[in-house]
Amino acid sequence: MKSLFERSMDKSLIQLENVTREYVNGDVVTPALRGVTFDVGEGEFIAIMGPSGSGKSTLMHIMGFLDTLSAGTYHFEGSDVTTLEDDQLARLRRDRVGFVFQSFNLLQKSTVLSNVMLPTAYGGLPHKERKSRAVSAIKSVSMEHRTGHYSNQLSGGEKQRVAIARALVNNPSVIYADEPTGNLDTNTGKLILELLAELNDEGHTIVMVTHEEEAAEYSSRILRLRDGKLVSDTSNGHKRRGGYKK
């Protein structure tokens, strides 16, 4: 039986093999990841879980081109990420991935439309096309009635919907969601997870870091880390709807 990494590249969006990340401060070496291997197929909804210090945030930062690995290999859409220059990595971050963070990271004194348009600012698109993309992304998260509102006028759940729209605006290959329900109440968190599940049903690949078992149940596959190592990789069978609670 073939290992996960031995699947052909044309079936996998992401492939990591023996990925190691160490942080060096003088003579002190702190390992964050220790030989992590797995892949992510197009259209999957992956939950990455583990206790504090397990390496899950470091792993997501590497997968999202926000950090670099110390050893091992990382292929994204068939390209060896370790061979790419900084400007190539920046283009991948801009065009091929979308990010959703626990703290939303919206510009507080900018409108919903301006926030969602922001990732399109550096791709050379005409303003009309940028606006059209943003309007479409806002509609996809049912926030069109708030398009002209400033982000500091929105509730937490509305801010996260706007953040998801912003992640979608460049039609990325994958959406990385880092504790997307961490700052939300129970009911609002459930709505955000249902939205992510709906986007996945539409074909979007989603990789989510979470510490909540109920949130992970919305995924189709759960990876568990401990002490920088991948200790389990299990199919979730099917997504559970309506089961989220803090």
Query: Average pLDDT, stretch 161-166?
Result: 96
* Residue 237: predicted pLDDT: 67
| pLDDT at residue 229 greater than cutoff 90 | yes
pLDDT, position 81: 94
Q: What is the pLDDT of residue 238?
A: 54
Q: How many helices (H) and strands (E) does the chain have?
A: 7, 10
Residue 157 and residue 184 in contact, taking contact as beta carbons nearer than 8 Å: yes
Token digits for 22? 């160490």
Residues 65-76: tens digit of each pLDDT: 999 999 999 999
pLDDT band at 122 (very low <50, low <70, confident <90, very high): confident
Mean pLDDT of the chain: 90
Query: Residue 101 in 3-state DSSP?
Result: strand
Res. 156: pLDDT tops 90 = yes
Greater pLDDT, 5 or 213: 213
Residues 6+ apart with CB under 8 A from 28: none
Contact 100, 79 (CB under 8 A): no
